[in-house]
Amino acid sequence: MKVVFVSCVFPPEHTFTSQTGAQTAEELVRRGHSVHVYAPFPSHPTGRLFDGYKRTLYSTSAAGPGYTLTHCFATFSRSSTLMSRFAGNLSFGITSGLRILFGRRPDVIYSITWPIFATGIVAIVARLRRVPLVLRVQDVYPESLDSQRRVARRNWVYRLLRQCDQMIARSSQQVLVISRVFQKVYENDRGVPADNVHVIPNWGNDDMVDADRSAALAFRRKLGIPEDAFVAVYAGNVGVASNAEMLVDALAKLTDLTNIYLVIAGEGSKLGTCREEAERQHLDRVVIHTPWRKEETGPVIQMADVLLLPTKGRQSLSSIPSKLITYLLSGRPVIAAVLPESDTAIAILESGAGWVINPDSVDRMAEAILAASEQSAESLSLMGSTGREYALQNHTREFNLSRVVKIVETAAKLHNGNTESAARSAQ
């Protein structure tokens, strides 16, 4: 069959969505299907075009093992403001939608793109061309905007966006969500039939974090951290939704404990805020590591005694940080500032992988870091190993990739079968 795959991020961008997207395209090709991927020119997370690329309206090339990749023009978001993200979302929706509308008709469209505008345009094109749409939901919008305090629930914009998301979801033949909380939203609030909503978590590779202890110790030395220090690490995108700046304030409450260090590794719009806060409060035990290169994933994660996962407000109910999978697979304990009913909290509590505290509480985060630093090495190791075992059973490629591909294949077959049946009935 002919598959059109729309993705808001794609390699060489190094995110979970880009990596799992490439694996999905490769698996579809391996199973004998023709795959055409549409993605923006690579710029995530800095909002700057990657070296070696020239941004044009469209650029098509053979990519990966057997699929075609078309990069489509989209504006970049360097500051992660609401307007800049809206512009990138809408511009990519328009360019990718037009290409799909006037291109060769596919048998199915698989979409993992930005809500609600880019996704909405894909849904409209799918309806116009009478092509089944399989929608992959990574974040629930507009609930996520409310949790980031960008758009309040009482605002008419929020209500309009929710109605748009409802129409998109109902027009999709299948909706794939990454958590049980998301499943309830789409079944109970959006009114999507339960048979059309499938929970398939994000996944990683069991060997994605290199467990080289000597490399981790060498990285500590590179950052000027003593080998016997207790190190709390945040590793990932330092954007608005990350709430990483609250970690700096948490360490400020532990200034008397000179053996505790905080490392913030990554890039994003809030990285400057973290650095400025650390300098303002004279916190020389806050270490900012940027850029964080792909090959440094193992040393950065493995140098940690505990990994930190802060969120903002109700954000944990409308998104699941992809870094959670990396954290669990690393075999390191986790402190997550999330709501107790969130899937992130459930994963950590069910596995025994660490601590769950309320979001936005600097005091609770400081207390949790202190509590972790007082644990024995054996206790921390046990938490980490139980978390890794949980991730191996629920968040690996072997467990989830085939389920995604099967749903995409089934959507195309069901649609084609219904079309042929209707044609015979009309004769």
Q: E strand or H helix at 357, and its extent?
A: strand 354-357
pLDDT of residue 58: 96
> Where are the domains positioned within the chain?
2-203+396-426, 213-394
Q: What's the CA angle centered on 276, arms 274 and 277, to 5 degrees?
A: 65
CB 117 within 8 A of CB 93: yes
Buried b (16+ CB within 10 A) or exposed e, 76-100: bbeebeeebbebbbbbbbbbbbebb
Helix pair 245-252, 271-280: axis angle to 10 deg: 20
DSSP-derived 3-state class of residue 166: helix
Asked if the peptide bond before residue 121 counts as cis, ω within 30 degrees of 0, the response is no
Please report the sign of the dihedral spanned by the C-alpha atoms of residue 143, residue 149, residue 155, residue 160.
negative
Q: How many CB atoms lie within 10 A of CB 296?
A: 18
- CATH class of the structural domain 2-203+396-426: alpha beta
Q: E strand or H helix at 2, and its extent?
A: strand 2-7
DSSP output for 85-107: HHHHHHHHHHHHHHHHHHSPPPS
Which whole-number Å values give the CA distances from 245 to 43, 235, 277, 342, in the listed order? Answer: 23, 13, 8, 22
pLDDT of residue 422: 44
Q: Which long-range contacts (CB under 8 A, 24 or more apart) does 222-229 make?
A: 223/263, 223/287, 223/289, 224/287, 225/261, 225/263, 225/287, 225/303, 226/259, 228/259, 229/259, 229/260, 229/261
pLDDT of residue 420: 52
pLDDT of residue 418: 61
CATH T-level assignment (fold) for domain 213-394: Rossmann fold (3.40.50)
Q: How far apart are CA 113 and CA 253, in angstroms?
A: 40
CB 336 within 8 A of CB 348: yes
List the pLDDT tens digit at each of the 427 positions of the chain: 999 999 999 999 888 889 899 999 999 999 999 999 999 999 987 888 999 999 999 999 887 678 999 999 999 987 767 788 889 999 999 999 999 999 999 999 999 999 999 999 999 999 999 999 999 999 888 888 887 777 888 889 989 999 999 999 999 999 999 888 899 999 999 999 999 999 998 888 766 677 678 888 999 999 999 999 999 999 988 887 788 999 999 999 998 899 999 999 988 888 999 999 999 999 999 999 998 887 888 889 999 999 999 998 888 887 778 889 889 999 999 999 999 988 899 999 999 999 999 998 999 999 999 999 999 999 999 999 999 999 888 888 888 999 999 999 999 988 776 655 444 444 4
Buried b (16+ CB within 10 A) or exposed e, 110-139: bbbbbbbbbbbbbbbbbeeeebbbbbbbbb
Domains 2-203+396-426 and 213-394 share a fold: yes
